[in-house]
Structure 1
Amino acid sequence: MKKFAKTLSVAAVSGALLFTSACSSKEASKEEKKVSVESLPDAGDFKDQLTLNLSGSVTRGKVEDGNYVQKKLEEQFNVKIENTKTDTWNADQVNLMVASGDLPDTFAFTAGGKTAQELYDSGLTRTIPKEMLEKYAPLYMKMLSENPSGDKMNLKKGTDNEYVALIGQYAHVDGLVWGPTFRLDWMEKLGIRPPGEIKQVGPSGGREKIYYTDGAYTIQEMEEILKAFTFDDPDGNGKDDTYGISPWNNNTNWAHTLMGSFGIAPTFNLMEDGKLVSTEISQNYKAFLKQMAKWYDMGLIDPEFTTLDDKKSWEKYKQGKVGYYVAQPSYIAMDDWAKGRAPQNIVENPDSTAKLLATAPEIGKDGQQGEGAFIPVGNLADAFYVSKDVTDEELARILQIFDYINFDNDARWTLYGEVGVHSDWEGEPEKSALKIRPEFAEQEGNSGFWAYNFRTYDKERVGWFQSEYTMKVKNELYAREDVKEKMMIRPYKWDLFNETNIKELEKRYKGQLDTIVAEFRMKAIVGEVDIDKEWDSYVENWKNNGGQEILAELEKAPKVSDLLKQ
């Protein structure tokens, strides 16, 4: 799986930019001429050669001039491609590019900060008329129509037919992103039964030591398992040196399904007692903290977690002293990109006797089960921009290239070349991942693979970079339709169309609010504060430091349930 495809980050979802525009207010406010689509060439009319400076989601400045993909695209679309030699994942290099005003014709900078509307208002990008998309990018428009609210996202304020950016389909994060795992060999030694029928992930390479089931444990059952993992010497060394769970301190990914058993998800919002509240000040979140504090007090949680980030936590898990860990489907299926990550790192050594069991998310006392959706509303994310200097004629050609390489799956060669020449199937043809041969660059370089593509994937494309084992685990557990319908937690309200001032308020207050939440969470879990006694003070502190303003602004946003119907 490609680096940019597998990274599950908020920056990817926001699809915005962090840099300062050097453009004048005159540029930012200038009116654009209305496009006369009838005067532009027909789709497929490439008789006039154009020169285009193209960039995509994976532009790291490593593309070689005259690469394989470049030559084929130039011939097919009668263009001369100028390659972008800047690392668009490097914020400093992006800032310099923007300050100079020397932007590629197309870009999808992997840095966060400004919304697409703000970027347009800064005078750096142009709009993309809906008429031109319908004429030159019909596959893209079809994708939008198949996703709730897709055709309303990224519209320029005050219009219903001009887009300030294009958006991508994120089928690779469809369904649940995280799931709990247990040391199955410890369970067998301790006589703990799996919660359902278990299946083997794969036949060899370590996958034969990993199992999964769509059954799940309740929180109370899980507590008993964690106690056994901690106190019943599951590794048989005669020492009291194991723990049920080892979280980490730099994010809350470790808690996604645990919080789901309380009906909540990090950073979302919900209705509670008739009022809109953020997860982090909700009564259910308070109950979650009390559960974690109880487990810490019982000795079930590794006390070193306060000093561990996620990477150090992987190393700690590999020592074989932790029984429970959360994982993504690709970790469980041992995809190449996930090597070294817990929990698969415990079985990577061929001599390892460890075994793992992945289950469905834990079930709370009131039957809650699941986790927060990776994308709050639908499955669309990220942003692809067109520079302000691009003419209508150039845009027509760009949209046809964009539509072909990103949404026509016959264009697989732009990502993997010719199968049998540049790449090979990892397993069964058309049902397993594609692997680039070592003599060709996996990205950019002499091949030009991914050099001009946007970060967007339908289900077929996901199958090109995720192993057949990952796809099996997802299809039978994480992304199964009934699982998604039952277990996907979404916020109550969300400003999908940037109609409120939420983004500006979050920029102003997010840092201090994150600090308040993180400090209270840590102190609450380790017992430094009495949660019941300090709760009201914590909530008041959160509200007084910008939280109340954010909630008031969020009241103006539409309900997610309504957005999903559009």
Structure 2
Amino acid sequence: MFVSTKIKKKEGFLNMKRIVSMLLLLTMLCLVACSDTEVITPDQTSATTAESTTSAQSTAATTTQASTTEMQNPFAERLELTYLVRFTHNYDADRWDELELEEKFNIDLNVWTIDAYNAEQCTMMAAAGDWADTGYINGYDPVRAYNEGLTRNISLEQIRTMLPEYYSILEGNPIGFKVNHIQDEPDHYYGLSFCYAQNNYWYHTNCFRLDWLENIGYPISDLTEVKITAESFQQASEDVVFLSNHVFPYEEFLDILRAFTEDDPDGNGVDDTFGAMWPLTGPSYGSHWTDLYTGMFGITSAYTTWLYYDETSDNYVPSYALPGWRDFLVFINEMLTKGYMNYMVDVSGGDYGGNFYSAILTGNYGHFPLDTWFNMNPGSPPRIEMGIPQGFLEKAPEAQFVVVPAIVGPEGKGGNKRYVDLPFRDGPWGTWTFGHTCTDEKLERALALLQYTHFNDEGFYRYY
């Protein structure tokens, strides 16, 4: 039985072998039939084999080369970058941050110890034909430097591909494409324009005494407490300053000014309070300190030369030719006549800030514009640092403050002057330049350094 079974298996194996052989033969015949009819000699066969081998090797080499290109280190070659910015005139070489960045970007960072804000030093530098590969030089005009051959241009494509975060800022604020643009060189720039968020901030914020609002029946529900940790602000660290998105309609605002004046909001039984101070010492066109009030009527009094579009005349006219200016004059005249607002008293010999804070710190006003740069800022000058809120608390320890959006006027308008008009700055105050010695290779490295230290969270918080 065992032998018989083995023979049958062997026969089956032989049959299978024959079938496989036939299939291979048929496959070869099909391949020959489908190929060219040219007869290949043994020599040609060798040549073809060699050619195929060479082709395969070439393909393999190309694939290997492509693979190598993808993995290539963009910073393989060590480059020297000369660097000049503000505050480097007292720079100590080989600081820890310099050494870290040199290693990361494979560069020798040569920081020049010139005062980049000193016009005389920068002029002497330019006279010698020198300009740093990359940096911010305030003491010499960047357009003049370019025209004198001291700096190079940078193309929009280089910005887009090498500094995409900055390019996205340009896309979000298209006017930036026009700033620092070289007029006769399309899509090329004198340098990178500084970008500021201050154009998003009002020059003055709209502030009320929160405790007074509650006392006269105007509570605010959506309050967010501001906790101040600065040591000099300890008195105002908690339960003093609040933010809110509440917007008072125009009629309510008028009633609030009345109630602050007539309804004894501080509860002392003395008629010594006012709705607000008109922050001028007498009749005047106004300033950015008055913009919160003129802004209710669509006018910023900080810019006396601006023209406004007038819908009634379909023309551009000065502010005093607008219906809004007439309505503002009616408003301010009524507030001053009724005593809901009063003029600022000159107690500081013409010093505007001294006059303003002297009046506010009496604790007698319920509404006031706050300069967003100085108030609640531990780095402010002493006079202002003792303003809102800590100086105020010396007079009224119970005071609470709430900052809300701009006042909205009768036509639904509101706002005031921004800290800067545009998010971009050019000229000596706002141009990051690249010297004539900055090759394209150096430019790529300089932009990589800039990207890491200014647009990357890791680099920004470590080196800022």
| TM-score after normalising by structure 1 | 0.54
8 Å CA contact 1:347–1:353 kept in 2: the answer is no
Change (3 A) 1:236 1:284: same
Structure 2 counterpart of 1:65, one-letter code: A
Change (3 A) 1:349 1:259: same
Structure 2 counterpart of 1:257, one-letter code: L
Structure 1 counterpart of 2:257, one-letter code: L
Partner of 1:209: 240
8 Å CA contact 1:257–1:371 kept in 2: the answer is yes
The answer as to 2:338 corresponding to 1:314 is no
Q: Distance in 1 between matches of 2:264 and 2:174?
A: 51
Q: Distance in 2 between matches of 1:170 and 1:45?
A: 31
Instruction: Pick one of 303, 306, 314 that aligns with 2:344.
Output: 303
The answer as to 2:416 corresponding to 1:407 is no
Q: CA deviation at 1:54?
A: 2.8
Partner of 1:355: 400
Q: CA deviation at 1:177?
A: 5.5
Structure 2 counterpart of 1:371, one-letter code: N
Deviations 1:459-497 (CA, angstroms, capped at 9, x unpaired): xxxxxxxxxxxxxxxxxxxxxxxxxxxxxxxxxxxxxxx
Deviations 1:28-55 (CA, angstroms, capped at 9, x unpaired): xxxxxxxxxxxxxx98325133041231
Structure 2 counterpart of 1:370, one-letter code: G
The answer as to 2:296 corresponding to 1:270 is no
Structure 2 counterpart of 1:214, one-letter code: N
Partner of 1:193: 218
Q: CA deviation at 1:261?
A: 0.9
Q: Distance in 2 between matches of 1:366 and 1:254?
A: 22
The answer as to 2:296 corresponding to 1:258 is no
Partner of 1:492: none
Coordinate RMSD, CA, aligned: 3.9
8 Å CA contact 2:83–2:111 kept in 1: the answer is yes
Deviations 1:187-208 (CA, angstroms, capped at 9, x unpaired): 334x2414x4241424675341
Partner of 1:130: 156
Question: What is the DSSP-based 3-state SS (H/G/I as helix, E as strand, rest coil) of the residue aligned with 1:45?
Answer: coil
Change (3 A) 1:242 1:59: farther
Change (3 A) 1:73 1:54: farther
Structure 2 counterpart of 1:263, one-letter code: G
Structure 2 counterparts to residues 281-296 of structure 1, below 5 A: 282-296=322-336
Deviations 1:260-289 (CA, angstroms, capped at 9, x unpaired): 211123435421222223546645345435
Partner of 2:433: 386
Q: Distance in 1 between matches of 2:321 and 2:136?
A: 35
Q: Distance in 2 between matches of 1:255 and 1:183?
A: 18
Structure 2 counterparts to residues 133-532 of structure 1, below 5 A: 133-171=159-197, 173-174=199-200, 176=202, 178-189=204-215, 191-194=216-219, 196-202=220-226, 206=236, 207-230=238-261, 232-236=263-267, 241-243=272-274, 244-245=276-277, 247=279, 252-265=287-300, 266-267=302-303, 268-272=306-310, 273-279=313-319, 282-299=322-339, 300-304=341-345, 307-310=350-353, 312-327=355-370, 334=376, 336-337=378-379, 340=385, 342-346=387-391, 352-376=397-421, 379-381=423-425, 383-392=430-439, 393-412=441-460, 416-417=461-462, 449-450=463-464
Q: Distance in 1 between matches of 2:157 and 2:227?
A: 51
Q: CA deviation at 1:356?
A: 1.1
8 Å CA contact 1:61–1:86 kept in 2: the answer is yes
Question: What is the DSSP-based 3-state SS (H/G/I as helix, E as strand, rest coil) of the residue aligned with 1:301?
Answer: strand
Q: Distance in 2 between matches of 1:43 and 1:252?
A: 56
Q: Distance in 2 between matches of 1:123 and 1:175?
A: 38
Partner of 1:534: none
Deviations 1:340-368 (CA, angstroms, capped at 9, x unpaired): 26433356669921111222221212222
8 Å CA contact 2:206–2:292 kept in 1: the answer is yes
Aligned-residue sequence identity (percent) comes to 21
Q: CA deviation at 1:157?
A: 0.3
Structure 2 counterparts to residues 50-61 of structure 1, below 5 A: 50-55=80-85, 59=87, 61=89
Question: What is the DSSP-based 3-state SS (H/G/I as helix, E as strand, rest coil) of the residue aligned with 2:260?
Answer: helix
8 Å CA contact 2:224–2:243 kept in 1: the answer is yes
Deviations 1:480-539 (CA, angstroms, capped at 9, x unpaired): xxxxxxxxxxxxxxxxxxxxxxxxxxxxxxxxxxxxxxxxxxxxxxxxxxxxxxxxxxxx
User: Any gaps of 5 or more consecutive residues in structure 1?
Assistant: 1-41, 418-448, 451-566
Q: Distance in 2 between matches of 1:186 and 1:349?
A: 17
Change (3 A) 1:43 1:128: farther
8 Å CA contact 1:246–1:305 kept in 2: the answer is no
8 Å CA contact 1:139–1:407 kept in 2: the answer is yes
Q: CA deviation at 1:330?
A: 7.7
Q: CA deviation at 1:178?
A: 3.7
Structure 2 counterpart of 1:253, one-letter code: H
- Count of residue pairs brought into register by the alignment: 364
Q: CA deviation at 1:166?
A: 0.8
Question: What is the DSSP-based 3-state SS (H/G/I as helix, E as strand, rest coil) of the residue aligned with 2:108?
Answer: strand
